[in-house]
Structure 1
Amino acid sequence: MHRRRTKARALGLVVPLALALSLSACGSDESTKKAELPTANDALQGEITLGAVLPLTGTNATIGKDQQRGIELAVAKINEGEGVLGKKLVVDIEDSQGTADAAIQAAKKLVSVSKVPAVIGEYSSGNSIPMQQYLESQGVVGVNPGSSSIELRTTGELQFSTIGLDDVAGAFTAGALRDKGYDSIAILAPNNSYGTGIVSSVSDAFEELGGTVTTTGLYTEGQADYRQELGRLKDTKPDAYVVTTYGKDGTVINKEMYELGMTEKPVFDIYLSQDVPDADPKSVEGRLGMDVNSTSADGKDYSDYYEDAYGEKFISSFNGYAYDAVMLLAAAIDQAGSTDAKAIAAALTEVSKTYDGATGPIAFDADGQRSEQPYVVAEVKDGEIVPQ
């Protein structure tokens, strides 16, 4: 059997599932009130406002809350120091409600009312892609901190991503699966731009490594029951099931896989902290999966900063990518000496070359995408996601 070694760096992510189950999904939630963040420098004069569109309600509210925390931490860190161009940084956050229409409306509000030069967001590729296309049409910079569809490469010259895209993720996942000794897999993913992209990239890479994909399935988001889709996967009798889900959908899918006895075989999640935080812990105990590194190998300072502020460990692996988006934009505005969108975009490419943030080096490529994305294989143990 052909095997490929996977390279995993230290994962700063430990997600306590029981805590995730009780999280509020409100935009201005209790965690924001409790957060103990650094005090802003009194010497800062005036304000510079950026925008963010996050899923604070809806299917991905748990992830949206964690992205919001990353933004809050970055803003507080910047304002504790010299601010941006000597001014206080403000990030106006709008709720996408987890839908493309609401995401675009939120972006329109930020552009037309708040007059922001840059917008961070969203999380789901199906929302981020049209939102970035809108931002490009308005001459506004967009920074994606959570979506991974390869279609983000074509959203425009002013559009960037602090997280790696699916072509890179697919190759890593296939290598990890072969390293685990699986000869055949069946894949389930959401029927959207992210899901179709990840199914294609994982399938192609797995087959190139000598494996067999017994079947692939795309599910419709928001269903009350997924037993039909899961039954099709089960009937093909693969060595392992490969799944990737969103928040509340994952809760249902994980529960039904457990009830159908599918978890008696290996289940491997793509973006583990995306799939399991809202799940009943018993349905995902022992679950394996890949994930983005929540912090770099030297990211302990950031993880300590997060825990000190919120009194708990990371909710997901995605907060650091939102943190890095804010820090990069602030550095770009300082370097450009301006809030002009084109000047910010040009400066982003330059500052990224030497930027080493919460999630490690980013270095945008010619398409404004992260050049190298560190991934890791992790496991759910005693209700927590921990690296192998």
Structure 2
Amino acid sequence: MKDRKFSTVLLTLALIFVLFAGACAPAAPAAPEAPEAPAAPTAKALPDEIVVGVVQPLTGSFAVFGKEGQIGAELAIKHINEAGGIKSMGGKKLRIVVEDAGGTADSAKLATESMISKNRPVAILGEYISRFVMAASEVTDREKVILIADALVPQITQMGRQYLFRPGPTATNHGAMAYQFVKETAAAAGVEVTSLAILNEDSANGRANSLGATEAALKDKISIVTTLEYPYDITDATQIVQQLEKANPDVIIHTPYFNDAIVFGKAFKETGYYPKFIAGAGACGYVDPASIAALGDAAEGISMTFSYNPAKDTPQNKKFVDEYKATYGYIPTEGAGMNYYGAMVLYEALEYAGTNFPDDPLNPDNLRASFLALDLTSGPAVETYPSNQIKFSPTGDNLFPGVVVLQVQNGQPVVVYPADGAEAKPVFPNPYYVAK
């Protein structure tokens, strides 16, 4: 009996111990809840209109070029909007805003700062003069705004700028093309050319054009009898023309701007000195409508390289040329053409960004990536570009630059080179040349 009572007590104590231990033991941890899935990124709302800036010299010595550039950009934006805007962004339209770059690099830089602070454009087209572009690109890179440059000096794309793109050719491309044109045209005409004089205004642009011509000529063992520089604001070129006559080159390759081309054209006419040919390089002066109007028959026979081909036989280029001519009475100039196809390259990049970066297509890094991804062989940009392809290098240069040559014939600028697509055959030698 005692044993049974003892066993009962032990059993009771054991049960109490188990219950007590269970109560004191820590609770088992609850199973962790599954983490919430990250929210899908929200697409950034697009503005009502996409702002595009134009900063060009609209006053000062270079205004003739800047005004033409503005016209070309405005026509391109008009045509883009008429065709439905940026389709990959729901047909968003472009709105153009314009700022005067003035006549110096400092004023161009200030104008670019003003443009960005007031309007925050996705891109800026401009600023024609190479030193203006160099100054402005400091601002656009700092602010992460795409700059589509229409200037020629090679160094523009050698400064490490991340948001700068140049669809057009370089100044050295122009100089080399001027020489190539002379070489092939002289050979076709049976005219011997063994010597050149190199003449340029004393900026980086003038020197780069002259370097391109000089290097190309020296490869063919052509003699460079003299190389002359002068300030672009020269007012009397008589002494320099006399120096050229004394050097007696077969051909002069000249890189002017606008006013100096008029000064030299008149000096050639007044002195009566003409070599076998005067070939312009660098896309400024002699063959544009304003130069022809100022020079009259003194412009006859002079040629000039262009970064734009007004004779290119494509639907988009015909549309541009026809509307431009109907409005202004003459064909598009170099500046107008470069800014037209520059705006069309922007259009292609925006379409790419809308398709490939739909959540934030106007983000400057996404837009930059879109420019670098372009490889255009058709479309409105290529239809108005001198070559048939546009693809940018990592530094922002077009890997397929195009240059054509125009010559003044019967008072009109006509495309004469390359032969494929030319409007007329070159007149060579110069009609005023008299063999001695």
Normalising by structure 1, we get a TM-score of 0.82
Q: 1:223 to 1:289 in 2, by over 3 A?
A: closer
Tell me which residue corresponds to 1:381. Answer: 409
Query: Which amino acid counterpart does residue 154 of structure 2 have in structure 1?
Result: I
Distance 2:310 2:400 in 1: 14
Distance 1:274 1:130 in 2: 24
Alignment of 1:224-239 (within 5 A): 224-239=235-250
Query: Which amino acid counterpart does residue 215 of structure 1 have in structure 2?
Result: T
Greater relative CO (CA pairs within 8 A, separation 6+): 1
Tell me which residue corresponds to 2:430. Answer: none
- Residue deviations 1:34-77, cap 9 Å, x none? xxxxxxxxxx9821111111122233333222222211111111
Aligned equivalent of 1:334, options 351, 372, 376: 351
Tell me which residue corresponds to 1:269. Answer: 280
Query: Which amino acid counterpart does residue 265 of structure 2 have in structure 1?
Result: N
Q: 1:122 to 1:287 in 2, by over 3 A?
A: same
Cα contact 2:286–2:302 (8 A) shared by 1? no
Q: Could you tell me how far 1:364 is from its partner in structure 2? A: 1.4
Distance 1:98 1:318 in 2: 16
Q: 1:303 to 1:245 in 2, by over 3 A?
A: farther
- Residue deviations 1:351-388, cap 9 Å, x none? 34445231142211222111122323332111111123
Q: 1:59 to 1:299 in 2, by over 3 A?
A: farther
Cα contact 1:70–1:320 (8 A) shared by 2? yes
Distance 1:235 1:264 in 2: 11
Cα contact 1:164–1:371 (8 A) shared by 2? no
Runs of 4+ in 1 over 6 A off after TM superposition: none
Tell me which residue corresponds to 2:400. Answer: 372
Tell me which residue corresponds to 1:125. Answer: 130
Aligned equivalent of 1:66, options 60, 65, 68: 68
Cα contact 1:52–1:92 (8 A) shared by 2? yes
- Residue deviations 1:241-266, cap 9 Å, x none? 11121112211121112212233542
Could you tell me which runs of 5 or more consecutive residues in structure 2 were left unpaired when the two chains were aligned: 1-45, 187-191, 355-360, 417-424, 426-436
Could you tell me which runs of 5 or more consecutive residues in structure 1 were left unpaired when the two chains were aligned: 1-43
Query: Which amino acid counterpart does residue 295 of structure 2 have in structure 1?
Result: D
Tell me which residue corresponds to 2:42. Answer: none
Q: Could you tell me how far 1:151 is from its partner in structure 2? A: 0.4
Distance 1:113 1:137 in 2: 16
Cα contact 1:111–1:117 (8 A) shared by 2? no
- Residue deviations 1:150-195, cap 9 Å, x none? 1022131211111111232233222222222421111111111111
2:257 counterpart of 1:246: yes
Identity over aligned pairs, percent:
25
Q: Could you tell me how far 1:212 is from its partner in structure 2? A: 0.9
Q: 1:140 to 1:301 in 2, by over 3 A?
A: closer
2:314 counterpart of 1:314: no
Cα contact 1:307–1:313 (8 A) shared by 2? no
Query: Which amino acid counterpart does residue 334 of structure 1 have in structure 2?
Result: E
Distance 1:289 1:45 in 2: 43
Q: Could you tell me how far 1:271 is from its partner in structure 2? A: 4.1
Alignment of 1:99-114 (within 5 A): 99-114=104-119
Query: Which amino acid counterpart does residue 256 of structure 1 have in structure 2?
Result: A
Aligned equivalent of 1:357, options 377, 380, 383: 383
Tell me which residue corresponds to 1:148. Answer: 152
Distance 2:71 2:174 in 1: 25
Q: Could you tell me how far 1:225 is from its partner in structure 2? A: 1.9
Tell me which residue corresponds to 1:285. Answer: 300
Distance 1:303 1:55 in 2: 27
Cα contact 1:59–1:246 (8 A) shared by 2? no
Distance 1:51 1:308 in 2: 22
Q: 1:272 to 1:83 in 2, by over 3 A?
A: closer
Q: How big is the alpha-carbon RMSD for the aligned residues of Structure 1 and Structure 2?
A: 2.3
Tell me which residue corresponds to 1:38. Answer: none
Tell me which residue corresponds to 2:317. Answer: 302
Cα contact 1:239–1:265 (8 A) shared by 2? yes
Cα contact 1:50–1:91 (8 A) shared by 2? yes
Q: 1:301 to 1:354 in 2, by over 3 A?
A: closer
Query: Which amino acid counterpart does residue 107 of structure 1 have in structure 2?
Result: T
Alignment of 1:61-100 (within 5 A): 61-84=63-86, 85=89, 86-100=91-105
1:93 partner SS? strand
Cα contact 1:273–1:385 (8 A) shared by 2? no
2:189 counterpart of 1:187: no
Range with bigger deviation, 248-257 or 371-380 = 371-380
Aligned equivalent of 1:257, options 263, 268, 277: 268
Tell me which residue corresponds to 2:33. Answer: none
2:70 counterpart of 1:53: no
Cα contact 1:294–1:318 (8 A) shared by 2? no
Q: Could you tell me how far 1:315 is from its partner in structure 2? A: 4.0
Q: Could you tell me how far 1:307 is from its partner in structure 2? A: 2.4
Cα contact 2:73–2:339 (8 A) shared by 1? yes
2:119 partner SS? coil
Q: Could you tell me how far 1:323 is from its partner in structure 2? A: 1.2
2:165 partner SS? strand
Cα contact 1:269–1:288 (8 A) shared by 2? yes
Q: Larger Cα Rg: Structure 1 or Structure 2?
A: 2
Range with bigger deviation, 102-111 or 259-268 = 259-268
